[in-house]
Chains A and B, each alone.
Chain A
Amino acid sequence: MKNRIPNINDPMIETDNQLIVLTRDENKRYKTSKWHEYVNVWKKKSVGEKITLSVMFVIFLVYGFTLLFPLIWAVYNSFKPTVEYDLDSIGLPLNWTFENYKTAFTTAAAGRTNIVKAIINSIWMSVLSTFLGIFASCLTSYVVAKYRFKASTLIYTVAIFIQIIPLVGGVTGMYQLLWGTLKIADNPFLIWPIWFGGFGFSFLILYSAFKSVPWSYAESAFIDGASHFSTFFKIMLPSVKPILASLFVVNFIGAWNDYMTAYLYMPSWAPLSLAVYLLKDETTRISYPVYLAVVVISIIPILILFVSFQKLIMENTTIGGLKG
């Protein structure tokens, strides 16, 4: 147990910027001590603060309920026969059925979109776009952060500038370029270069990550005769692995939920996020429960991902700001 390689899901605590993996017993003790600590913190609070927090607690309960209820509602209604749903969409199903899921997989379709194709499209598009985007950002951010050349400051400034300036009509130019000039829209083999963007947010995050890696690592590699490329791939990239991992997860979720790129440039290859939109009219005309089954199918993968990487996702968003 001692020498086991720590897993991302292991219980961990952070002390002095070091992550310590806990055994099950330690974790139990840690959690109870956490609880005692919380009770102590609460005791110390003033009466006014206790009242405010209690009121907010109730507000949070209500708000949290409004966020969770639609999901729960969608899940139980997706198991309800259509006839029953039309009579009562509020109560739990009297007769639970899997029919809606069968129908969703077999007959729910609009144009060239159906649920099986959408799942496949979601997977390849999210993986490819996430991978290409992060890879391109690694190339650019490393060079700009670690090498001194005339254009480096310019590149960095441009990367920030393009985040802030509002180019409202840009979509028309892109639309004409991809459909008209280059004719790569709606073609899965040609569309991928649009994802190879190396100057977006990933660039800014990786830039600060590479900045904090000491250059002496590279220097000693150079002394050993390593080339710039092998230093980059074998030494510098692995040293920003944690940032890469969390970027990958966060960007993947963003890509999975992105419906606009496909709506504009890949309409015949709709991923799940877009399929939920495209299938709406066709499916709901026949049956709402079938449509809710489609919705549930579309969120299962992302929920699994969120549950498995919850800590990584939520803390990365915080850590990212810290680095700069």
Chain B
Amino acid sequence: MVEIHGLCALAIRMTNEVYGEYVEHRIIDVPALASESKMATRHMTKRSSEILFIVLMLLFPVLQFILFWVIPNFNSIIMGFQDASGGFTLKNFEQFFTFLFQGKDFLGQHNEIVYAIKNSLIYFAVNIFISTPIVIFFSYVLFKRVPMSGVFKIIFYLPSIIGATVTTTLFRVLLLEGAPAYELLKSIGFITREMEQLGLFAADSTAFLMVIMYSIWTCVGINMILFYGAMKRIPNEIFESAEVDGVGFFRQFFSIVIPLIWPTITTLIIFSLSGMFISYGAVMILTPSVKTASMVGWYIVKWTTAIDSHASIYYPAAVGLIFTAIGLPFVLVIRWLLNKVSATVEY
């Protein structure tokens, strides 16, 4: 969840506008000169200057979009079917399924892609079933004005401000042998001999666990601000009358807050879902070379940037295509399901 771009959820409203029931019908806000059939010619020049303006304003951004979004994405589809000489081939897909089912890799060792898929699914599940509930409940506690809530909000937001490389690095350094967090774990008997020899970030048994722990540790951040904001928008009268009726802290949470901020929750789930095979959490910094701790997004980036290695850039393109094909219908179906249970009121 950490790597969902902070601003993404700002678009919640607009997302619902188009995809939800609130399809916006644009009201004419352009000077409605057409109806005032005053001077047709004057109108013509007006309209043409307007068209010129629209074209000039959009020209460069649209070209940029075509060049840096449409072409690369379209090309990545074609690349999946290409070999190094540029000819058509299905070799990349064959290779992927061989790796997947025969349990070997380019180097013939670990079956990285199997771990990558498993880990991406685990990461997503942790996001949805552990991190998101924590964030929502924490936001609710802040919203209910726990003492020092202002200070807590700032502290919890810090990981989102400081940036992933620094927080991840500090997390890693603190868990190296001799550092405070490592010694704490050692004192409660968590560290086994394997971990002691290899370190927590290289041992197969703990490497991915560390990635998960990091993601839970920093999950509150920006999402807290979003949920807190959504709760703030619920009219206060609802809570006042609930309190008059003797509705307690937890019932207010489950019966009022959750249904009313449901659109925010669903949007974050959708973003998390569509990022499932793209995101790689803290893998790049914590465990870049541990194959059992890989994730699909990292697997693709790794093979894309490793130009001189055993794989060509066409192999990760094919892998990406396969996961897009799996992910896209999945995202659309889940989105449809979530919106079915959506409340009719949004805050």
Contact = CB atoms under 8 A, between A and B. Distances in A.
B298 to A, nearest CB: 11
A175 B167 CA distance: 27
Contacts of B277: 166, 168
Interface in B8-32: 8-19, 26, 28-31
8 contacts: A46-B248, A53-B146, A60-B152, A90-B183, A142-B57, A172-B317, A295-B169, A320-B7
A205 B7 contact: yes
B10 A299 contact: no
B210 interface: no
B296 interface: yes
Contacts of A19: none
Interface in A247-302: 250-251, 253-254, 256-257, 259, 263-264, 273-274, 276-277, 280, 288, 291-292, 295, 298-299, 302
Contacts of A32: none
Given A49-B144, A52-B249, A146 B30 contact: yes
A121 interface: no
Contacts of A207: 14
Taking each of B11, B15, B74, B313, which has the highest tally of chain A beta carbons within 10 Å of its own beta carbon?
B11
Nearest to A148: B30
A302 B11 contact: no
A136 B174 CA distance: 42
Contact of A215 (B29, B162, B217, B301): B29
Contact of B313 (A172, A219, A254, A322): A172
A255 to B, nearest CB: 10
Given A201-B5, A302-B162, A321-B9, A70 B170 contact: yes
Taking each of A60, A71, A201, A207, which has the highest tally of chain B beta carbons within 10 Å of its own beta carbon?
A60
B180 interface: yes
A204 interface: yes
A185 to B, nearest CB: 11
- Chain A binding surface SS class: helix
A147 B41 CA distance: 20
A202 B65 CA distance: 14
Contacts of B7: 201-202, 205, 250-251, 254, 317, 320
Interface in B272-328: 273-278, 284-285, 296-297, 300-301, 304-305, 313-314, 316-321, 323-324, 327-328
Contact of A48 (B13, B248, B318): B248
Contacts of B316: 169, 171-172
Interface string B213-229: 00001001010011011
Contacts of B233: 321-322
Contacts of A298: 165-166
B64 A318 contact: no
A240 B67 CA distance: 29
Given A67-B155, A172-B300, A215-B31, 20 more contacts: A41-B145, A56-B146, A60-B138, A74-B173, A169-B316, A172-B313, A173-B73, A176-B72, A193-B68, A196-B64, A215-B29, A228-B53, A229-B53, A250-B7, A259-B164, A276-B169, A314-B153, A317-B222, A322-B233, A323-B13
Contacts, number: 330
B188 to A, nearest CB: 15
Interface stretch (A93-101, A108-116, A149-157): A149-157
Interface string B137-151: 010010011111001
B277 to A, nearest CB: 5
B169 A89 contact: no
A11 B186 CA distance: 47
A303 B232 contact: no
A136 B166 contact: no
A140 B309 CA distance: 41
B296 A276 contact: no
Contact of B161 (A46, A280, A306): A306
